[in-house]
Amino acid sequence: MPPRPTSHSFELWAPAAAHSVELDLDGARHPMHRDPERPGWWQTTAPARPGASRYGYRLDGDPVLLPDPRAARLPDGPEGPAQLVDHEAFEWTAPAPGAPLPGSVLYELHIGTFTPEGTFDAAAARLPHLVDLGVDTVSLMPVCTWAGAHGWGYDGVAPWAVHEPYGGPDGLKRFVDAAHRHGLRVSLDVVHNHLGPSGNLLPRFGPYFTDTHHTPWGSAVNLDAPGSDEVRAYLIGSALAWLRDYRLDGLRLDAVHALVDTRALHFLEELAAAVDGLAAATGRHLHLIAESDLNDPRHTTPRHDGGLGLTAQWSDDLHHCLHTALTGEGQGYYADFAVRPLTGLAKTLRHGWFHDGSWSSFRQRRHGRPLDPRRTPGHRLLGYLQTHDQIGNRAQGDRLAAGLAPGLLAAGAALVLTSPFTPMLFMGEEWGARTPWQYFTDHQDPGLADAVRNGRRAEFAAHGWKPEDVPDPQEPATFLGSKLDWTESAREPHASLLAWYRALLALRRAHPALADPDLAAVDVEFDESERWLVLHRGHCRTAVNLSPEPRTVPLGGTFTDLLAAYGTPVPHRDALTLPPASAAVVRTAQ
């Protein structure tokens, strides 16, 4: 039987409405009234069917129906009516794992390309693979609603709603519940710095954006101009809703360097305090991970020490050091890291960042600020060999496995997974997936589709790429070709690489020294010309040979055990001979 109507309160912040706001609920219109206590707010009460009723708003007699900006479900897309969601009706079967972020290993995945079906339920069926692999936190790319069926998710326009083609609100809840049953945490990527170019209806309600500041996406989200109190509350409320209503364990905050906020209380600090309050109220560990291009330790410095109080932030510097060391690439922003790649890699492993106030040729200025290892342990930095950004923003979306020998992939993985950072893998990396992960879109506006297609080709033409060699983001084959081929994982050389990742993750759990976040305790020996490097982690050593010739490397202690190897190393009393393009983790007596 359909749910029976019950009295429901509807509230809307719409200062742009000069005279009237009407609620359209299941075809019936209800006038709304100004809230005398809250400027710009309108409210009414009407009989509605939880989980079924569809509704929207009309401002000042405009016949266009606008969906609720706080809608949890938009079954017909971002410009269609909203549907009420009864969050209390979902039957959860498992509690959250309840562990903090330090010591975790994250696994970034995109719901649309993780499986052939591209849904939450299909992704949930693959969770046993992640348990066997040894990761403990799933990092979902954005799942809030956008115009079109498929895309990366960063063009979302409804920050409270779940993308319908993935499975909608209940689909996300089923995924999170399944992950928790497997002992996995789930983090979600959210985008506060911009909204997508199509289907963004928020400006019709009020000053969600401001021309006071501009970003690469146009007018900035209004965090500090008139009306910004409500905009900040809207975004923070959305973040809390993801954590509360969907029982997510954390959020990844996209490109926080693009959040322009001149107020004394920064938006990120206010958000972090609100999330900490929810964590205290629920007794759960909740985390906030920032993507930042600033190399600023204040993001993760506790609030009582004058920082913003975020849990962790991405470290692109480690990625860039590893990428140049493994591939030899040195164009664009890789230029600084390619001059002496092992020197840069050693610095980053010891100190957290390469750019800590040093000159950046890409930016033509100094960049970053040094970390204090006493206040910023390594677990506050995410380390990774590959991410959606670093693959998908290449002209052809080619993964490292497309051009590197498996032994070099194994060496990169060994350094990430035994580093003092919080490691993160990108889906399919663990078996050296050779399917590309390209930039794909499904813009419904032909003009916008052409602009994106031509813009991407023009961007890469400046680097020597022919237009026909840059995949068309709108072409369905670009999206379909980016889906993982799960059959690869059972074939060589993929199966051996997968076994290596599993072995490294098992070692990280078995040997606390390999997960020690103390940057001050890290030591690195290397030879730039011979292309070998040894990472010292307590009594453990991670040794990698990136050269095409065998290398004998010092261990800085007496060899006792070979813990894992990709290749066949030869141990000596206080050294190790590594075959070309190989890696090993050993234990020493000192």
Q: Are 267 and 232 contacting, i.e. CB atoms less than 8 angstroms apart? A: yes
The one-letter code for the residue type at 526 is: F
Q: How far apart are CA 406 and CA 254, in angstroms?
A: 31
Helix (H, G, I), strand (E, B) or coil at 51: coil
- Nearest Cα residue to 182 out of 130, 243, 246: 130
User: DSSP secondary structure string, 451-500?
Assistant: HHHHHHHHHHHTTT--GGGS--TTSHHHHHTTS--GGGGGSTTHHHHHHH
How many whole angstroms from its chain centre is CA 306? 26
- Provide the phi-psi class of 486: left if phi over 0, else alpha when psi is between -120 and 50, else beta: alpha
- Nearest Cα residue to 424 out of 398, 392, 390: 390
Q: Is the dihedral of CA 405, 406, 412, 414 positive or negative?
A: negative
**Residue 28 β-bridge partners:** 25
Question: Which residues are within 8 A (CB) of 376 and not within 5 positions of it... i.e. 6 or more apart?
Answer: 297, 300, 301, 352, 519
Beta strands in 298-338 (DSSP E): 312-314
Beta strands in 222-268 (DSSP E): 250-253
Q: Is the dihedral of CA 148, 154, 156, 159 positive or negative?
A: positive
Q: Are 76 and 104 contacting, i.e. CB atoms less than 8 angstroms apart? A: no
Question: Does the annotation mark 132 as catalytic?
Answer: no
Burial of 4 (0-12, 13-18, 19+ CB in 10 A): exposed
Per-residue H/E/C for 197-221: CCCCCHHHCCCCEEEEEEECCEEEE
Burial of 584 (0-12, 13-18, 19+ CB in 10 A): buried
Q: Which of 155, 189, 254, 442 is catalytic?
A: 254
**Residue 532 β-bridge partners:** 527, 545
Q: Which of 68, 230, 249, 291 is catalytic?
A: 291
Question: Does the annotation mark 270 as catalytic?
Answer: no
Active-site residue list: 254, 291
